[in-house]
Amino acid sequence: MKKNPRTVAFAASGTARPGRWYLRGGAALVLALWLAGCMVGPDYRRPEVQVPESFKEGVDWQRAQVNPAASLSSTWWHMYQDATLDDLVDRSLKANQSIAAAEAAYRVALATVESNTAGLFPIVTGDLSASRTGFGKGVTQVPGSSSSVGGSGGGVVNNVVAQVSASWEIDLWGSIRRQIESSQESAQASDAQLAGERLSIEASVAGDYLALRQADYDIRSLTRQQEIDARILEMTQASYRAGAASSDQVLVAQDDLETVVAQLQLTKISREQDEHALAVLTGVPPAGFEIAPDPDHVFVIPDVPLGLPSELLERRYDVVSAERTAAAANSRIGVAEAAFFPSLTLSAEGGFQHNTFAHLFSLPNRFWTLGPELAETIFDAGARTAAVRQARATYDGDVATYRNTVLTAFGSVEDSLSAVNHLRVQASSYAAILQRNQQLFASVRAQRDVGSASEQDLLNQQLTLIEAEQNLRDTQSLLAQSSVTLVKNLGGGWQWDDNKAASATGHPLSSTAFSSIDSQARRQDAGSPPN
């Protein structure tokens, strides 16, 4: 059988036959792809935390609620049935600068995921250059070139190069994929922080607004007390001039009046500062912001769905953020451990070179380079070991932070439940006191009508009645504000969804790992149009 001359040439020169070369190259590629499936470093497991079966201060709530596991709405502030409050919250969600900053931080986190994902793919660059070099007859070599021109008598050399280069670092040990995992988990933590910032602004608006309405009533109540105390002072001074009252009684009446005046100024300060705070929260200067007084505002005390303590791990943005931060730290351990293994980079370069552009793209002018590069650090004085220790220590610290965040979350809910429970009892007591003082005021007024009680007796009883009503209204306001704090501590209608998180890992830009109970409302909260 006659041998192919081309095959003989390969054999004679000791060069591997083309078929064997392709087989070896293919085997190397298969080996590289198989190794690329390996990922060093520990796989993440959510840290264990101690979760109570029920809230200590929520026993009565869970008995009273028809559905204690019901979820909060993401538009929870509508429970307070106040159109002004609804408008203020909507404006704050669209204009508040803290939310804008958190949203920008989340976009930075998503861009980081994109950047890390790009590391899985080759980098391809192109280059087109042209040069014209002149030299004298004494020059023996063209500057910047290996071409010898000795004895040519000087002249000009043209050089045109067009080339394409590609470089691909194979992720043999999962370093890039662990980095992608870490950035994804950090993005999820950032998403939780964004939700937390929104909830914080919502709760701040609601709390400041309810405090402002409390001040509206207190200002009217204290103004009425000031008028009555001023009348009592006049009567006492008249009695003193007639010899029916002592100077001490006049001094006491003066002190009572001045005390009410001082309390009124403090309440006005509080009201003005609450209004200023609401202006800042809604993104406008306080000078151009005003809320009309409403001393007859009715404080609505909503029934807040409590749920179970275990649900708090998915509904508290700070708990989710801390847990995702720990997951990101766990992935970075794999990144640090991968540095102990060699890196494989496949490089290719090809192009054309000639002294004229017209004849550049022809086969005789082509050049190419192809080859792998295997690199390994032989000595680094323990730098890689220190990096692994640092990554593991960071993870341990983040786990501790997560567990402490969980404990803090449970504690804050218990605090809110305790406040609401006792304020309810306090409001009931003040309501009973108000009812009795209304009866007493009616009795004293009847006695004055028949002449058995003086006008000053009636005024003093009226002061007591006004103070009783103010105590009740203040307690109702504090109860409403405590319910806002409870809503915030329960997560405010936002929650982490494990199923969506699992589906989101296939696409680094997916932000569907987090959802609100009412997704339509959340889109509106973010300022985007509803579907």
Q: What is the pLDDT of residue 521?
A: 36
pLDDT at 158: 81
| Cβ neighbourhood burial of 382 (10 Å; 0-12, 13-18, 19+) | exposed
| 3-state SS class at 242 | coil
* CATH number, span 124-137+148-170+344-375: 2.20.200.10
Q: What is the DSSP letter of 381?
A: T
The answer on pLDDT for 30 being more than 70 is: no
Joined together, the tokens standing for residue 417 give 């439940």
Within the chain, which residue ranges are assigned CATH 2.20.200.10? 124-137+148-170+344-375
pLDDT tens digit string along 407-439? 999 999 999 999 999 999 999 999 999 999 999
- pLDDT top residue among 429 and 70: 429
Q: Rounded mean pLDDT of 193-221?
A: 96
Residue 461, C-beta contacts closer than 8 angstroms, at least 6 positions apart: 437, 440, 441, 444
Query: What was the pLDDT predicted at 201?
Result: 96
Residue range 222-239: mean pLDDT, rounded: 95
Q: Residues of CATH 1.20.1600.10 domain(s) within the chain?
A: 39-121+173-206+272-341+382-525
Confidence (pLDDT) at 365: 80
Q: What percent of the chain has pLDDT over 70?
A: 80
Question: Residue 481 — very low, low, confident or very high, per pLDDT cuts 50/70/90?
Answer: very high
How far from 357 is each of 127, 158, 353, 418, CA to CA, in Å? 14, 9, 9, 84
- 263-303 confidence digits (pLDDT tens): 999 999 999 999 999 999 999 999 999 999 999 999 999 98
Q: What angle do CA 118, 119, 125 make, to 5 degrees?
A: 80
Beta-carbon contacts of residue 292 (< 8 Å; ≥ 6 apart): none
Over residues 297-329, the pLDDT tens digits come to: 999 999 888 878 888 888 899 999 999 999 999
CA dihedral 129, 134, 137, 141 (to 10 degrees): -20
Instruction: Determine the pLDDT at residue 358.
Output: 76
Task: Give the per-residue pLDDT at 411.
Answer: 94
Q: What is the pLDDT of residues 110-159, one digit of tens each?
A: 999 999 999 989 999 999 888 887 776 666 666 655 555 555 556 777 88
Q: Where are the beta strands (DSSP E) in 34-154?
A: 123-135
The pLDDT assigned to 309 comes to 86
Reduced to 3 states (helix: H, G, I; strand: E, B; else coil), residue 91 is helix
The contacts of residue 57 (CB under 8 Å, 6+ apart) are 414, 417, 418, 421
The pLDDT of residue 178 is: 92
Picking from 317, 329, 313, 322, the residue whose alpha carbon sits closest to that of residue 44 is 329
Residue 62's pLDDT band, with cuts at 50, 70 and 90, is: low
Q: What angle do CA 171, 175, 181 make, to 5 degrees?
A: 115
Query: What is the residue-wise DSSP string for 300-369?
Result: ---------GGGHHHH-HHHHHHHHHHHHHHHHHHHHHHTTS-EEEEEEEEEEEESSSTT-SSGGGEEEE
What's this model's pTM, rounded to 2 decimal places?
A: 0.80
CA 159 from chain centre, in angstroms, equals 56
Q: What is the pLDDT of residue 11?
A: 33
pLDDT top residue among 365 and 404: 404
State pLDDT tens for residues 344-359. Answer: 888 989 888 877 777 7
pLDDT number for residue 312: 86
Is CATH 1.10.10.10 the classification given to domain 39-121+173-206+272-341+382-525?
no
Residue 502 has what pLDDT?
A: 42
The answer on pLDDT for 529 being more than 60 is no
The pLDDT value given to residue 416: 94
